[in-house]
Structure 1
Amino acid sequence: MTTGASPTTVARRVDRAKVVRAAARAGFVARGVLYLLVGALAVRIGLTGTSEQADRGGALAEVVSTPFGVVLLWALGVGLAGMALWRLSEALFGGAGPKGDQPGKRALSGARFVFYAVSSFLVLAFAVGDRGSGAGSTDRQSQDLTSRLLSLPGGPWWVGAAAAGFLGAGLWIAGRAVLRKYREHLEWQRMSTVQRRFMDVTGTAGGVARGLVFGAVGFFGLKASIESDPGEAKGMDDAIRSFAQAPAGPWLLVAVAVGLVLFGAFSFGQSKWREV
């Protein structure tokens, strides 16, 4: 009869925890880089009307055009894989904090694992030369997927359900940002006043901007489901561009774009102060 784990077993668990924590922090950095690039591209679109893509594909095209671009792509892909590993560990064993073991949170972590695993695969595929993998327009991908769903029995309902999920996620992301729920996951007590202010500014503005983009994707998805027209669906790029059609014009687009840049900076802060 065992009285507890052996010292060797405990040491292995500690080592695994250290690996997962390091992977998570690398993932936050990779996510931050992607959002910084997408936000910068969106700012350029708002100010100049350029035809560049303000999405993952546009960001990867920017990276690969720089010196050591392929090396940077590998770093981003591995970083996103680290994020996927962390989310998988949360889904299997529960996350940090008193509520980290709740079934709902573990299920959400599982969904995030799938998202980051796919994102990592696409970036790494792009790095090894499959230029049609990670850099495809999210607008075209959204329309292709919508077209496939519409062709299924009850297609508009499938599209509507997916769109409602994006819309709900956007409202949830923006709402949590406004309420500063991200503080619950930060090592708040050991942060300085300046560090707390940095995370509040970037976390609130960045989270609202990110939520608006998710919400816009969901809104146009609902429109596609109602009209049974895949052409109405929009990916991240067209969703961002759509803000220029609001009464505030291109300045709303620029404001959302700056918010995405701030969310990238927030991700960098999370890599340092997030409890994982």
Structure 2
Amino acid sequence: MPAAELPPIWNGFGFWVWHGEPGVMLAAHQHGELELNLLLSGQVTYLFGGQMLTLDAGQLALFWGSFPHRLTAAAPDSRMAVLTLPLTHFLRFGLPAPFNESVLRGEVRSVAADPGDEVLLQRWQADADAADRERLAIAELELEARLRRLALAHPSPRSQAVPSERRLSRAAELARYAAAHATEPLSLADIAASAGLHVNYASTLFRAVFGLSLGAYVLQHRLAHAQRLLLTTRRPVLEIALESGFGSVSRFYAAFGKACKVTPLAYRRGETKC
């Protein structure tokens, strides 16, 4: 996606489809939607959280845009299609729990595209542009079916009960606020208050919908931010620790070592694929 269209802020796209030539992004950005990328030709490279992700022509990738991501390189002949889907819609599909949880933990699900994926995305773009309620409902049903096929690449015998629309909306509100403010001083009470909820109820609701605690979710965002700075800057570790929301460098080292099994400097040197 062209850098000019995607400034480095917390964007909100809703249900949106784009086709075109991707451009290198000047900075990472975040948004609350799920993002489905289909690379039609060429090759692109993302910095997603703290990892480099390369997509080749014919690959389809799904990830949650809540984690900082940035397109860092694109071959001259690259063309791609991008779809964004609101989080509440994704959760309402009731996809297998381990698949949902892995995506919401910040993992990227990439598979070889099906022959009809380009046609589907072109149709969904027309549906989104038309803004017709019936066409959008059909597009959502087709997208649910496509994501169910994507989930088949990561099978699991477990099933997932779909929370009510109100619970999904409240949980998504908590996630958006926590992700947008993760690098700031932030308590569970602050996050709960953003949605007008009691902290105990907010914590229970978040875990029920996302499969992890609010605290773990905030920590993932702080680590992802720190990993990105370690890979793209030469700034001191102390400065990165504080900017990423860790109260002290000792807390940062402890959390980073537990998650990545190496020190921040070793990570910067490429000694892990955390």
TM-score if structure 2 supplies the norm length? 0.24
- Structure with greater proportional helix content: 1
Which structure has more relative contact order (CA 8 Å, sep 6+)? It is: 1
TM-score if structure 1 supplies the norm length? 0.24
